[in-house]
Amino acid sequence: MNVLRHLLAGQLWSPAGFEESVQLTFAAGRVCAWDAIPPHPPGADGVLDARDAIVIPGLVDVQVNGALGWSFQAQHRAHFDAIVAHHLTAGTTTFLPTLITAHETTLTASLALLADYCAASPAATLPGIHLEGPFLSPEKSGAHDPAALRLPDEALLARFLAAANGQIRIVTLAPELPGALELIRNLTSQGIVVSAGHTAATYAQMQAAVDAGLSFVTHAGNASDWPHRAPRPEGFWGSEPGLVGALLADERLSGSVILDGFHFHPALVAPLAKLKAPHGLVITSDASTVAGCPPGEYSGGGLIATVHAAGYATSGRDGRWLAGSTITLLEAVRRGVTLAGLSLHTAVELASAVPAHHLGLAERKGHLGVGADADCLVLNEDLSLRCVIARGRVVSEQ
């Protein structure tokens, strides 16, 4: 891996737009200077010439379950390395390894090993763990193992937190379950983001959860309810906003969407991004165990899935449910542009600066200002990937 001193960018993403002809200077893995490219730019070793390309910040994913048939429940560091390499070389320089619903013994062992792995600072930045389950609704279990679901339990949560040794950053749960509000208060008091997902919560239940400290929605519109008609005490079918309606209506709520073209209709992404601006919408891959796998049947890491030739995966427990995505976050950015009609600037923002904001990493991640980590991607004009740089080192060249 080559250590860079300078990066010459033809177009460089900034919070205000794309800047032209910028020379970035790196030192000790950080951006230390921004300058106009001089008439005679530096050459030789340590200089990457991307004057014909687009440079964007390294992408930040709040939900990565695995890749290549491996999951973060595999409990083998070699498998973790393979997952990290798959996503890092595709442009995701920071992400939350995600553990889905499993029985207590599996989850506690996985949390302990994964916490140590995150703290060891591998090639990508892993700022903590996203625990998605087991406190989820049986009605909305999706690809999760329904036999391993649990009601909210303070003692069980304490065992999970102890095993994770301070590394849990997000917990996804169903806020309508009995005891959930107590867990939300407990988690938020420790600085952990609590997110609603795999839930049948009504608008009223979501309001109570937000009042208790819940602030996020996991993969909105998937394994959760859209606005619909529901029976009212008066006897008629009234309007029920559901989880998606709560996200739309409550300024205190932010959320993520899986932008693979299958999980969330692309036509809704741009208006949702506009409504929830500037920090209310995040693009995630929700890359599953089968991300990067060819079509076929797969089982492992708590997931039973079929990968289809069209590029989506369905759950082997119930083929009507999608089983996470098969893509990486850069592909989600591309589809944001090509399918959802987002500008490249907005698509990058939703996959870098906004998730960095929610993870408390905005000073270091999601931009390339002075003092930021030197994490960036070099893209060709067609948005294909040319180069990945992490902490000032070239980690992948196409």
Could you tell me if 247 and 220 are in contact, meaning their C-beta atoms sit under 8 angstroms apart?
yes
Q: What are phi and psi of 248, to 5 degrees?
A: -65, -40
Maximum distance among all Cα pairs of the chain, rounded to whole angstroms: 77
CA atoms 339, 362, 108, 151: torsion sign: negative
What residues are paired with 230 via a beta bridge? 238
Could you tell me how many residues make up the chain? 398
Q: Is the peptide bond before 122 cis (omega within 30 degrees of 0)?
A: no
3-class DSSP state for residue 168?
strand
Catalytic residue numbers?
286
d(CA 301, CA 314): 15
- Write the DSSP assignment of 198-242 as a string of letters: S----HHHHHHHHHHT--EESSTTSSSPPSEEEE-TTSSEEEE-H
- Token pair, residue 338, equals 């090509």
3-class DSSP state for residue 98?
strand
- Residue 252: how many other CB atoms lie within 10 Å: 12
What residues contact 95, with CB distance under 8 A and at least 6 apart? 60, 61, 62, 63, 64, 87, 124, 125, 126, 329
Question: How many CA atoms, within 13 angstroms, populate the side-chain half-sphere of residue 98?
Answer: 27
3-class DSSP state for residue 46?
coil
CA atoms 77, 78, 82, 88: torsion sign: positive
Question: How many CA atoms, within 13 angstroms, populate the side-chain half-sphere of residue 54?
Answer: 16
Cα separation values, 368 from 25, 41, 76, Å: 10, 20, 34
